């Protein structure tokens, strides 16, 4: 499994995973800037907001009701198709590889 995080300024970071892990927790563990994860992954804070790149959209799991609700609270512009909560997508389980754009701001 592999996750690539693209920063708003254009830099990027690819993390290879040994086992399935959520996007949010992987970012925190590897010091990827711009993803906060204040609630610890409970779909209760919206500070793990990411924009999923087009190529991966059709492989994503459906949004839960909790995720839909929290996505209304995101600090950066909401994108109906691409906005997701990083704590609700597990790479290596839901899909093997993903690329996401980190938003300008989470608060
Ligand atoms: Fe709080 Fe994802 S970490 S909603």
The answer for residues whose C-beta is within 8 angstroms of residue 69's C-beta and 6 or more apart is none
3-class state of residue 24 by DSSP: helix
| Per-residue pLDDT at 24 | 98
Q: Is the Cβ atom of 38 under 6 angstroms away from ligand 1?
A: yes
Please report whether residue 69 resides in a domain.
Answer: yes
| Per-residue pLDDT at 94 | 84
E strands along the chain, which residues?
Answer: 2-6, 12-16, 21-22, 49-52, 83-85, 90-91, 97-101
Stated as kind and residue range, the H or E segment containing 29 is helix 23-29
Q: Is the Cβ atom of 100 under 6 angstroms away from ligand 1?
A: no
Whose tokens are 């804070």? That residue is 45
Ligand 1 atom having least distance to the Cα of 43: 4
Tell whether the model's pLDDT for residue 6 goes beyond 90: yes
Whose tokens are 């691409």? That residue is 82
CATH code of the domain containing 25: 3.10.20.30
Q: Is the Cβ atom of 85 under 6 angstroms away from ligand 1?
A: yes
Tell whether the model's pLDDT for residue 7 goes beyond 90: yes
Distance 58 CA to ligand 1 centre (A): 22
Please report whether residue 107 resides in a domain.
Answer: no
Q: Is the ipTM of this complex over 0.90?
A: yes
pLDDT digits (tens, 9 = 90+) for 61-95: 999 999 999 999 999 999 999 999 999 999 999 89
Tell whether the model's pLDDT for residue 23 goes beyond 90: yes
Alpha-carbon span 15 to 4, nearest angstrom: 6
Ligand 1 atom having least distance to the Cα of 48: 2
Domain count, the chain: 1
């Amino acid at each position: 499994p592999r996750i690539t995080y693209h920063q708003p300024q254009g830099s990027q970071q690819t993390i290879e995973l040994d086992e399935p892990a959520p996007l949010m927790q992987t970012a925190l563990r590897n010091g990827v800037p711009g993803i906060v994860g204040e609630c610890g992954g409970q779909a209760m804070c919206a500070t793990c907001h990411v924009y999923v790149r087009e190529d991966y959209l059709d492989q994503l799991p459906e949004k839960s009701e909790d995720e839909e609700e929290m996505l209304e609270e995101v600090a950066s512009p909401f994108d109906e198709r691409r906005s997701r909560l990083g704590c609700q997508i597990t790479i290596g389980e839901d899909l093997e590889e993903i690329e996401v754009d980190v938003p300008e701001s989470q608060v």
